[in-house]
Structure 1
Amino acid sequence: MSTSRNQQREHQRSLMIKSQTYQYFTLFLHNQALPSLNACETVEDLHSLSGKLVRYDCMIQDMYEEEYFMSVLLPTQSSQNSETLSKSTQHSSNSQPGLPLFYKYYTELTQDQIINYETQSIDQQFAQERGNLLGISVPNMNQWLAQEPEKRAKTCLIKVYDENVRSFKLNDNLTVIGILEFNKRQSEDEEMKNVSGGDDDYDPMARTGIPNEQNIPHLHVITFRKDLILNNNQLLKRSQVNNMTLNNYSQDLKEAREKLKAILKMILEGDQVASEFTLLNIISKAHTRKDGFILGNISTNLCGISSLRSKYLNRLLEKILPHSMYLPLSLENLEEKRLSPKKNYDTNSLEPGLLQMVDNTFVVIDETLMKEGKVKENGVMNIKALATLIEQQVVQYDFMYSQIDMPINAGVIVLSEGRSMFKNTLQVVIKPEEGKDLDENKLNQIINDEDLLNQLRRYILVTNSFADVTLQDYHIPEDVSEYAQNIFIETRKNEQQNFGEVKTNADTFHALLTLARLISISDGEIALSMTNYEKARTLDQQRLSRIPQKSK
């Protein structure tokens, strides 16, 4: 019994040492200045890094079935001492005649090796499983966050091992460290065709079900981190914030808020209300999902904005947000672009759409370019996809026989000259202030002021990007909750008496609480006050008063 306990303790100690060693090794690797796959621009660059330790920043764009492979290939009994074996192994850098081959791809084996090693039977002790992920360069990452500019997007097949095989999902934002393998050869498929018996219909994808596998680099994962670029950015690391950050830096946040609002007012013709709603839209983020009900985010329609001012607003957002996407809506774009990803079963690939993006991507929908005309089938599908994103915070994936909704946290603002086609937004009609012409020279100076931009970036990081940490203690005091509920009841009663119908419902009440929450957060406060609740009521009343009423 004592021996058994000692063995158990020794086993647990061994596991602990293994875990600690791996954690130390992982931390060590992530602090190294490794060559970057993202920086490779030519095939020669890829060949130069093949077999070396590299770093790759990516989003998971597609996922394939796991595959079994042999970590060790043993020589057949008949070939142990044969001359053929000697010839077949002399080209392998990690083997000698009669010795096993380690971690070799079947696709890399010569015909002699296939004959002289146990490739037809499976020895269970050497059978292992690995996952296959398709990585692409992180889409919509703004330049200030990117560690290095990329001339074009990079694609890589990511091989994951051990317990990490099922640790990922579509659209995860990853930094991967591993061994790069790139052996693209013109003769490779021809060689495999000969090995397979000369079948004229030979298809390389048939081996694994992975499209274009032979032509893209493979990365064998040693370690990875999710959202590392954002969490480890040089302005404010995720590890530097906590639930007291808003309280500790409330004065700095208030100062940044006022500066951001002043810039927005310059762009939005001096309009205080429109600037306030835009600021709140920028920092809003869904925090609760239950039974299709979503709380935390607001999507506004800035109505009455010109195309030029739209471009300046987008430029500002690109300068201060980690990830953003500009969608200029025209009849041509609606018809020609694909927004929703679509599964192609013929190629076994998920064809990407523009809305396949990482969490916390801010989407700017610009309708100021829209002209009159008929929206055709693909355009209608794209409009529906955007409406679904706004209302449900999901992106619909087309799997031919079914639609799959992928949850996402994405801020959305719609810019239009008249009322937007997206009715599920908060319409904010811009009311220009006299004499507020667009000062482009001054705006350009502001948008290129790095010290100011860094202050605004930190503000966004605290109030939005790291909100799951900084806002975890946000609450509504009991007296404020009671006050808000009493006003809600009183409002409904007055509407019934004065108009004969009740317009205020649970949805409008929750929307008002969300607005009040955002006002508090934007000011660096984690408790809702009666003052901020009243600010929210006033702000929304001002918004509603600008919307033209339909005549009965």
Structure 2
Amino acid sequence: MSKVKTRSYPSTSTPPVRSKRNLEEESCDEPMEGQELEVKVNETNNDVAMETEKPDQKRQQTDKKESGQSTIPDLNFPLPGETGPACIVKVYDEIDKFKVNDIVEFIGVLSVDPSLARFQNESSEDNSMSVMEENTEELNAHEPPPSLVPRLHAVLCNHLEHVNPLVPSSPDDIKQVLSNTQSIITTLREEILSVLEHALFGDKLAAKYFLCHLLANVYGRSDVVPLGKCSINISNCPQSTVYADLLHHLISNIVTQSHILHMTLDNMNKLRFSPKKDYTANRLCSGILQLGSQTNFIIDEVALQPGQLDVNGVKNIQALGNVISWQKVQYDFDFHHQDFLCNISALILSEGRSILPSDFFIPLQTKVSPSDIREYFQQLDPKLTDDFLVKCRTYIGLARHMEYGLSDDVQKRMQDNFVSMRKEDPKSMSVDDFNSLLNLTRLLSLSELKSCPTIEIWNMAKVMENCRKQRISELPQRQ
């Protein structure tokens, strides 16, 4: 089976080779394939005359170019530097069923015909010209040239639970794939842990938490609290952005969607994290946090150097914290703010403890200190075969979407343990600690593709948490 990857970070695919044409040149250039030449018909004698460019029009175009006005439309991609193809989808039925950040598969008719891309019905030429003069920016934003942004007239719209082609959506089909994978799960899990352990410089405990992070998925909410998320903060990371990039490259090979953010001062102060409404163009300007469901978000805090965050930088820090803690993205409409739910797994790489919140803080205890990090990661290449990566994606997809529950016996044992630990030392086990322990037990069970935890898994989670807390207690007070 061939390797299949779907990523949410900027695409490096090369767009179709063609010269980008501005809005004025659209009507006078030669027609592209699948595009009609715009003509005018004299209604009195049925003469057909192609529009030609007059010297005055050429002069106006030259003046616009010299004045620095860009005629290439803003495609409004959420992620900076994204160069993939853009498309406007026109939906005609059941528009209310679509929600923000939904993953939808559209099947329809692709059109690059300019006559089918009009912003407004034209009752008369005079009225049309006046509307265009008043709303030029809005027209350019909503109706870019079809040669650059084609229109897809949707016939079928399918909401997707995930974008992993190796995992079916039907529960019955998932059970079938699950039964086929169960025989190799023990060996596969150990191989994945070995790869993650190598990437974390020999730290076995951090590798187990890392695997739980990769399997995390928000499956529900209790009031405002998202259930199932697992954001982790790994500290003591190498002081180089190379490590974050290499780790992101590894993650992008085993999950379907991922993106990395380097928290430089320039990025924090200048980039737009939360979407913001542009009332002049009458559209929503995209933000980095408009990520699809089940995206693995790597945050490189090592790149943050001493300096001053401006107002926008502080807002971006708050937006990141809101996503990590509550799985909500705040949209800015100037006069009010609206929260929209999301499902993003955050991995924070830092030197000391991060300024951002996390569910599990893990100080890294390295067993090796390679002089060349790139060469160290290249040692994983023989293991990362196409067959192994396909198994990894299938395994992670199954673990994220399989059913999970607690038996009465296990639930009673957990409650009794919690009561006894509270009696021994009330400070050692708070309600939040118990909830974290339950979540870790769930993820460890799913890592073994078990729909119900065992007492052994529960005890393993307690040992892991005790080891993690012991590491934190041994840290210098400044961290």
Of 368-377 and 319-328, more deviation after overlay is shown by 368-377
Residue correspondences, number? 414
Shift of 1:358: 1.2
Shift of 1:181: 3.0
Q: What is aligned with 2:408?
A: 478
Q: What is aligned with 2:380?
A: 443
**8 Å CA contact retained: 1:136, 1:155:** no
Q: What is aligned with 2:392?
A: 456
* Cα distance change of structure 1 residues 424 and 198 upon mapping to structure 2, 3 Å threshold: closer
* Cα distance change of structure 1 residues 202 and 179 upon mapping to structure 2, 3 Å threshold: same
* Cα distance change of structure 1 residues 453 and 214 upon mapping to structure 2, 3 Å threshold: closer
**8 Å CA contact retained: 1:209, 1:348:** no
Partners of 1:220 and 1:423 in 2: CA distance: 43
* Cα distance change of structure 1 residues 271 and 159 upon mapping to structure 2, 3 Å threshold: same
Describe how 1:277-316 pairs up with structure 2 within 5 A: 277-306=209-238, 307=240, 308-316=242-250
Q: What is aligned with 1:95?
A: none
Q: What is aligned with 2:194?
A: 262
Shift of 1:435: 7.0
**8 Å CA contact retained: 1:135, 1:157:** no
Q: What is aligned with 1:395?
A: 329
Q: In the alignment, residue 332 of structure 1 is paired with which amino acid?
A: D
Unaligned runs of 5+ in 2: 1-13, 22-29, 37-41, 50-73
Q: How high is the TM-score relative to the length of structure 1?
A: 0.67
**Are 1:504 and 2:444 an aligned pair?**
no
Shift of 1:204: 7.2
Q: Secondary structure at the match of 1:547?
A: helix
Partners of 2:471 and 2:188 in 1: CA distance: 28
Q: What is aligned with 2:283?
A: 349
Sequence identity percentage: 26
* Cα distance change of structure 1 residues 244 and 477 upon mapping to structure 2, 3 Å threshold: farther
**Are 1:230 and 2:163 an aligned pair?**
yes
* Cα distance change of structure 1 residues 427 and 197 upon mapping to structure 2, 3 Å threshold: closer
Q: What is aligned with 2:145?
A: 215
Partners of 1:380 and 1:236 in 2: CA distance: 40
Shift of 1:432: 1.5
**Are 1:48 and 2:41 an aligned pair?**
no
**8 Å CA contact retained: 2:255, 2:396:** yes
**Are 1:540 and 2:462 an aligned pair?**
no
Partners of 1:435 and 1:197 in 2: CA distance: 71
Partners of 1:508 and 1:46 in 2: CA distance: 65
**8 Å CA contact retained: 2:233, 2:358:** no
Q: What is aligned with 1:173?
A: 103
Unaligned runs of 5+ in 1: 1-37, 52-82, 92-133, 141-149, 497-501
Q: Secondary structure at the match of 2:298?
A: strand
Tell me which of 423, 428, 449 is aligned to 1:493: 423
Q: Secondary structure at the match of 1:405?
A: strand
* Cα distance change of structure 1 residues 444 and 376 upon mapping to structure 2, 3 Å threshold: farther
CA RMSD of aligned residues (A): 3.6
**8 Å CA contact retained: 2:218, 2:228:** yes
Tell me which of 135, 141, 160 is aligned to 2:91: 160
**8 Å CA contact retained: 2:78, 2:287:** no
Deviations 1:293-319 (A, max 9, x none): 221111100111113433322111011
Partners of 2:180 and 2:132 in 1: CA distance: 65
Deviations 1:241-268 (A, max 9, x none): 3346545532322222111110111111
Partners of 1:250 and 1:197 in 2: CA distance: 67
Describe how 1:406-417 pairs up with structure 2 within 5 A: 406-417=340-351
* Cα distance change of structure 1 residues 419 and 194 upon mapping to structure 2, 3 Å threshold: same
**8 Å CA contact retained: 2:106, 2:156:** yes
Shift of 1:198: 8.4
Q: In the alignment, residue 386 of structure 2 is paired with which amino acid?
A: E
Q: Secondary structure at the match of 1:368?
A: helix
Partners of 2:294 and 2:45 in 1: CA distance: 56
Shift of 1:277: 0.4
Partners of 1:328 and 1:317 in 2: CA distance: 16
* Cα distance change of structure 1 residues 292 and 165 upon mapping to structure 2, 3 Å threshold: closer
Partners of 1:214 and 1:452 in 2: CA distance: 43
Q: Secondary structure at the match of 1:249?
A: helix
**8 Å CA contact retained: 2:137, 2:280:** no
Q: Secondary structure at the match of 1:354?
A: coil
Shift of 1:137: 8.0
Q: Rg larger in 1 or in 2? A: 1
Shift of 1:177: 2.5
Q: Secondary structure at the match of 2:280?
A: coil
Shift of 1:507: 2.1
* Cα distance change of structure 1 residues 85 and 445 upon mapping to structure 2, 3 Å threshold: farther
